[in-house]
Amino acid sequence: MDIVYVKSLSEEILLLYEISNLTFCFENEKLFENLNEKIENGKIYLLTSSAGEGKTTFLKILAGLLFPTSGVIYYKGKPISSFSKQEMLAYHRDTGFLFQNAALINNMDILENLSLYYKYNQSLPQDRINDIIIPYVERFNLKSLIYNRPEQLSHSEQMLFSLIRAISHEPKIIFFDEPIETLDQPTIKIVMQII
């Protein structure tokens, strides 16, 4: 697995992550071993490897959703694994994640899914939440679908709503796990402009 620097978005560069001897095993099989890397803020990185070599797992570890078998990830100098519950919640508020499978909650409609962050992290009323979310929804021409449940949508539509969920609160860090794999060309262009 390789972490490739792609582009700088900022002139102020600070160390954001330091990855030290990171290993992850699943069912006695090592997905990756002794991974060492430094990731700076204000830059775009691309994670490359063959299928099944742990890219999604690595992103989930960076996001604090999984913990490694061994090794440490430091975020701004502090090990993520040592975060208190409050520190982890603050970290998750600063991140957005576009999952491969969209990860929308099936017993909620799309608007409810997109509103969750704002209800739990900012206690905003729904009309204010709509003011934030609807411009993103309109950019993808999806407003007619916001009262549908995820299972009523195509996979591409689910992924677009998951993208909106990941970026609409303007997080400091965004993890994209195969963001354009199932999208058509016009939609890919819009997504790439946003990324």
At 128 the pLDDT is 94
**DSSP per position, 5-47:** EEEE--S---EEEEEEEEEEEETTEEEEEEEEEEEETTEEEEE
| CA dist list (Å): 74 to 22, 64, 69, 168, 183 | 11, 11, 15, 26, 34
pLDDT above 90 (res 50): no
Q: pLDDT at position 123, please?
A: 82
In the CATH hierarchy, which top-level class contains the domain 1-93? Answer: alpha beta
Give 43's pLDDT tier (boundaries 50, 70, 90). Answer: confident
Q: Domain boundaries in the chain?
A: 1-93, 95-195
Residue 69 has pLDDT above 90, yes or no: yes
Contacts of 47 (CB under 8 A, 6+ apart): 1, 2, 3, 4, 55, 58, 59
pLDDT exceeds 80 at position 179: no
pLDDT at 13: 64
Burial zone of 3 (CB within 10 Å; 0-12 exposed, 13-18 middle, 19+ buried)? middle
Q: How many C-alpha atoms does 53 have within 13 Å on its Cβ side?
A: 10
Report the CATH superfamily, name and number, of domain 95-195.
Answer: P-loop containing nucleotide triphosphate hydrolases (3.40.50.300)
- Categorize the per-residue pLDDT at 12 as very low, low, confident or very high, splitting at 50, 70 and 90: low
Domains 1-93 and 95-195 share a fold: yes
Can you give the pTM of this predicted structure?
0.82
**Mean residue pLDDT across the chain:** 88
Question: How confident is the model over 121-173, as pLDDT tens digits?
Answer: 888 899 999 999 999 999 889 999 999 999 999 888 998 999 999 999 889 88
- What is the rounded distance in angstroms from the CA atom of residue 5 to the CA atom of residue 81? 25
- pLDDT band at 191; cut points 50, 70, 90: confident
Residues written for the chain: 195
